[in-house]
């Protein structure tokens, strides 16, 4: 029996451990329901080699549609012999439908115009929950998730001293006020690399206009009612932090130049010592501000007693600032011209600094925070050039992105370490892009979307994603593909692309071999125990579980230590390498760059239903 909205709200307010887990069902489907006019597919793992009869039952148990399963066969991603139940032909809205195959029956589900409910707004609320430097108030989030401000004042020095490999960092001659911004993930670090793609995704949602604008009073945040769009307010919270991380003019710093990040297993051959060179660091951006040492689980942000330090500037962080600040100049041009001008000045300073220092990489030699090491920043240069051209129209930026190898490279889904796609999206959609450039970019986006559609035919669970191993944050990889599929639909109006976006979200909300919704508060078996230092009810009953709308990183078959394999019960097919456990950070961490595309895709689906 489905919960009423009131009962569901009461259930979501309960701590994770107080909610009884729904048993796994053999018929796997989107646990929130189906769009009236959209595709409707469910999956069954069965040893049967021949097609099976299925029935669609209404709330009274009457058969309203019949069919035969389509046998995909053995599926490497799920490890199952998969049958597909396609009942797209049924287009009557209603509650309490069920599917029946032989003696197996699904949970009841609804069919309606907006079956995903408030997912877009809940996914957007994640960013308010993750804010640093401000109390998270009960009047916006409810008493369960309210907390005092974490790091309310944050005037931090640069890291100085020895790193994990014995390199002696000289630090810098100043402290910076780096308050505000979003905590990155389950930890309480704040990063420009990873913050950049997250910030841009929300900016892109605003820039695209229409459904994505989220006007004033549409979100539950302190700035609601100030006369400016709420999505812009959330964007500015992070953008202000980015601006504070820029190195002051006239600063010279000693940093490693052209020394690639080295990540290896503990006990492996250590890399050679770093060599430090003095550079003009004016206009560069510090990579992150974080705890000098890891905070233990659980630790509420206000209880974090670790020393906060700023980590050295890098070219990648600087280009993340250049790209996002250039986009800031575009989207704030009308509501706040002075702020737009401030952003553009910072963006051009950052671009000049990155051109002057193109090979300053994150080394990953620190504890207390993520490394985000990237030894190839050509994609960040492409992205920043595209954003700066869109903001200024200056020929030098167009020449830079057209000369980049990424201009003609095959487009992939975006990630923090693969940002050229963000630049290509900007070139395609910017109102003042040269026609030939926009045409080239749309062709690249459509070609990528077509490759993703081909991947869908290769998976039993009809997901437009088929890597040999599911990586860390696999759910966000799928959602970033869904964004490109959505854009292909916007450009062509071909329903096959929108159907593939729905297939992606169906997978995230339960149509997968472990019958798991990877979004907290959504579905019969939602994620409840994320790797997070405050939403840690699994470890401390006084702390809450996650609020609704938080996305888990999901299955991860690419980082399987023996300890993780044992924790999840042994070997697993790629889609099955997951357990809802706070300690399994490679599978169940949450992060701003995962919730950003969830918000984007959920809001887009609502608007195009």
**476 belongs to a structural domain:** no
Rounded to whole angstroms, the Cα distance separating 433 from 399 reads: 13
Residue where the block lists tokens 């009841």: 108
Identify the domain containing residue 572 by its residue range. 5-30+33-115+501-592+602-608
Concerning whether 230 is annotated as a catalytic residue, the answer is no
Which among 404, 433, 462 is the end of a domain? 433
User: 547-574 b/e with 16+ CB inside 10 Å = b?
Assistant: bbbbbbbbbbbeebeeebeeebeeebbb
One domain, residues 97 and 127: no
Catalytic residue, from 80, 187, 327, 379: name it: 187
- Is the predicted pLDDT of residue 212 greater than 90, yes or no? no
Active site residue 580: yes
Average pLDDT over residues 249-264: 88
Q: Which pLDDT band, with edges at 50, 70 and 90, does 20 fall under?
A: low
- Please, are residues 538 and 56 in contact by the beta-carbon 8 Å criterion? no
Q: Clarify whether 490 is annotated catalytic.
A: no
* 338/296 same-domain check: yes
Query: What pLDDT is stored for residue 156 in this prediction?
Result: 98
365: confidence class by pLDDT, cuts 50, 70, 90: confident
Q: For residue 3, what pLDDT is reported? A: 31
pLDDT per residue as tens digits for the range 86-107: 999 999 999 999 999 999 999 9
- Both 137 and 80 in one domain: the answer is no
Q: Are residues 250 and 170 in the same domain?
A: yes
440 assigned to active site: no
pLDDT of residue 7: 32
DSSP letter for 544, please.
-
Identify whether residues 127 and 78 lie together within a single domain. Answer: no
Grouping H, G, I as helix, E, B as strand and the rest as coil, residue 246 is strand
pLDDT of residue 10: 32
User: Is residue 523 left, alpha or beta, with left meaning phi > 0 and alpha meaning psi from -120 to 50?
Assistant: left
**Using CB atoms within 10 A of its CB, is residue 377 exposed (0-12), middle (13-18) or buried (19+)?**
buried
Domain membership flag for residue 446: no
Q: Which of 184, 413, 515, 589 is catalytic?
A: 589
> Does the pLDDT of residue 4 top 60, yes or no?
no
> Total structural domains in the chain?
2
DSSP 405: G
The CA–CA distances, whole Å, from 84 to 39, 466, 511 equal: 12, 17, 11
Classify the C-alpha dihedral 246-252-258-259 as positive or negative: negative
**Residue 448 in tokens:** 């990528």
**CATH number (domain holding residue 535):** 2.60.40.10
Question: 491-507 pLDDT, tens per residue?
Answer: 999 999 999 999 999 99
- Domain end, chosen from 433, 459, 491, is at 433
**Contact call for residues 335 and 232 (beta carbons, < 8 A):** yes
CA distance 250 to 602: 45
Mean pLDDT, residues 444-452 taken together: 98
Average pLDDT over residues 414-439: 97
pLDDT at 263 over 80: no
17 within some domain:
yes
- Kind of pairing, strands 94-101 and 104-105? antiparallel
Question: Is 5's pLDDT higher than 60?
Answer: no
In angstroms, what CA-CA distances link 11 with 66, 524, 581, 601? 34, 11, 20, 25
Do 155 and 97 belong to one domain? no
d(CA 475, CA 478): 5
Q: Is residue 478 part of a domain?
A: no
Residues 157 and 84 in one domain: no
Confidence tier at 214 by pLDDT (50, 70, 90): confident
Confidence check: pLDDT of 257 > 80: yes
Residues 109 and 124 in one domain: no
Per-residue confidence (pLDDT) for residue 489, from 0 to 100: 98
Is the same domain home to 127 and 84? no
Give which of 431, 433, 491 is closest to 209, Cα–Cα. Answer: 431
Instruction: Decide if pLDDT at 530 tops 50.
Output: yes
pLDDT in the model for residue 14: 41
What is the predicted pLDDT for the residue at 211? 54
* Structure tokens belonging to residue 6: 């009131």
Q: What is each CA distance from 349 to 144, 246, 278, 284, 357, in whole angstroms?
A: 43, 9, 19, 8, 12
Q: What is the pLDDT of residue 1?
A: 28
| Band of residue 13 on the pLDDT scale cut at 50, 70, 90 | very low
H/E stretch holding 183 reads: none
Write out pLDDT tens, residues 312-335: 999 999 999 999 999 999 999 999
Percent of the chain past pLDDT 70, that is, above it, reads 95
CATH number at residue 211: 1.50.10.10
Residues in the chain: 609
- 261 shares its domain with 374: yes
- 282 in the same domain as 260: yes
| Percent of the chain clearing pLDDT 90 (strictly above) | 90
**DSSP-derived secondary structure letter, 546:** P
Number of Cβ atoms within 10 Å of the Cβ of 347: 26
The CA-based dihedral angle spanning residues 316, 322, 323, 326, taken in that order and rounded to the nearest 10 degrees? 180
* Same domain flag for 255 and 354: yes
Residue 495 lies in a domain: no
151, 206, 531, 532: which is the annotated catalytic residue? 531
Asked whether residue 252 is assigned to any structural domain, the reply reads: yes
Whether pLDDT at 444 is above 80:
yes
Task: Provide the pLDDT confidence category of residue 271 given band limits of 50, 70 and 90.
Answer: confident
**To the nearest whole number, what is the mean pLDDT of the chain?**
94
What pLDDT, on the 0 to 100 scale, is given for residue 267?
Answer: 61
Confidence category of residue 265, pLDDT binned at 50, 70, 90: low
Q: Which of 383, 410, 433 is the last residue of a domain?
A: 433
Does 228 reside within a domain?
yes
- Mean pLDDT in residue range 575-590: 97
């Amino acid at each position: 029996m489905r919960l009423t909205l009131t009962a569901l709200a009461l259930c979501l307010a309960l701590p994770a451990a107080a909610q009884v887990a729904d048993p796994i069902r053999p018929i796997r489907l989107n646990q929130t329901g189906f769009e009236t006019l959209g595709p409707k597919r469910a999956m069954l793992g069965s040893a049967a080699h021949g097609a099976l009869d299925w029935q669609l039952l209404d709330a009274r148990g009457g058969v309203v549609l019949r069919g035969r399963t389509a046998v995909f066969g053995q599926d490497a991603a799920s490890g199952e012999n998969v049958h597909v139940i396609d009942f797209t032909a049924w287009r009557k809205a209603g509650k309490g439908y069920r599917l029946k195959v032989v003696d197996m029956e699904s949970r009841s589900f609804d069919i309606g115009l907006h079956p995903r409910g408030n997912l877009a707004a809940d996914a957007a609320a994640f960013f308010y929950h993750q804010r640093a430097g401000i109390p998270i108030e009960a009047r916006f989030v409810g008493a369960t998730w309210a907390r005092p401000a974490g790091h309310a004042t944050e005037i931090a020095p640069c890291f100085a001293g020895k790193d994990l490999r014995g390199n002696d960092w000289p630090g810098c001659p100043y402290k910076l006020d780096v308050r505000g911004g979003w905590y990155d993930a389950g930890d309480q670090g704040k990063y420009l690399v990873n913050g950049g793609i997250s910030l841009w995704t929300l900016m892109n949602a605003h820039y695209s206009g229409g459904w994505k604008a989220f006007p004033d009073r549409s979100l539950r945040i302190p700035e609601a009612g100030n006369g400016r769009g709420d999505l812009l307010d959330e964007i500015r919270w992070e953008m202000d932090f980015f601006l504070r991380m820029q190195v002051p003019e006239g600063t010279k710093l000693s940093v490693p130049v052209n020394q690639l990040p080295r990540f290896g297993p503990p006990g492996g051959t250590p890399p050679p010592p770093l060599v430090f060179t003095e550079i003009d660091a004016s206009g560069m951006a510090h990579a992150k501000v974080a705890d000098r040492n890891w905070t233990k689980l659980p630790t509420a942000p206000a209880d974090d007693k670790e020393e906060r330090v700023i980590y050295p500037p890098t070219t990648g962080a600087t280009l993340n600032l250049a790209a996002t600040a250039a986009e800031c100049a575009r989207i704030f041009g009308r509501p706040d011209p002075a702020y737009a001008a401030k952003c553009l000045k910072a963006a051009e300073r950052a671009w000049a600094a990155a051109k002057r220092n193109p090979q300053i990489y994150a080394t990953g030699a620190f504890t207390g925070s993520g490394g985000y090491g990237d030894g190839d920043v050509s994609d960040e240069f492409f992205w920043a050039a595209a954003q700066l051209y869109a903001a200024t129209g200056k020929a030098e930026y167009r020449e830079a992105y057209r000369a980049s190898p990424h201009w003609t490279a095959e487009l992939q889904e975006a990630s923090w370490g693969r940002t050229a796609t963000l630049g290509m999206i900007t070139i395609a959609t910017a109102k003042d892009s040269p026609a030939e450039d926009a045409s080239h970019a749309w062709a690249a986006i459509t070609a990528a979307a077509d490759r993703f559609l081909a991947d869908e035919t290769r998976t039993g669970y009809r997901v437009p994603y088929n890597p040999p191993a599911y990586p860390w944050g696999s759910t966000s990889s799928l959602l970033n593909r869904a964004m490109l599929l959505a854009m292909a639909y916007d450009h062509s109006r071909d329903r096959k692309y929108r159907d593939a976006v729905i297939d992606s979200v169906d997978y995230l909300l339960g149509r997968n071999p472990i019958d798991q919704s990877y979004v907290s508060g959504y579905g019969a078996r939602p994620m409840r125990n994320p790797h997070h230092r405050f939403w840690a009810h699994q470890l401390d009953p006084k702390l809450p579980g996650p609020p609704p709308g938080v996305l888990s990183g999901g299955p991860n078959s690419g980082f399987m230590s023996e300890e993780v394999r044992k924790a999840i019960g042994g070997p697993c097919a790629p889609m099955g390498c997951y357990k809802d456990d706070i300690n399994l950070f490679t599978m169940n961490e949450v992060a701003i760059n995962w919730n950003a595309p969830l918000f984007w895709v959920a809001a887009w689906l609502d608007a195009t239903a």
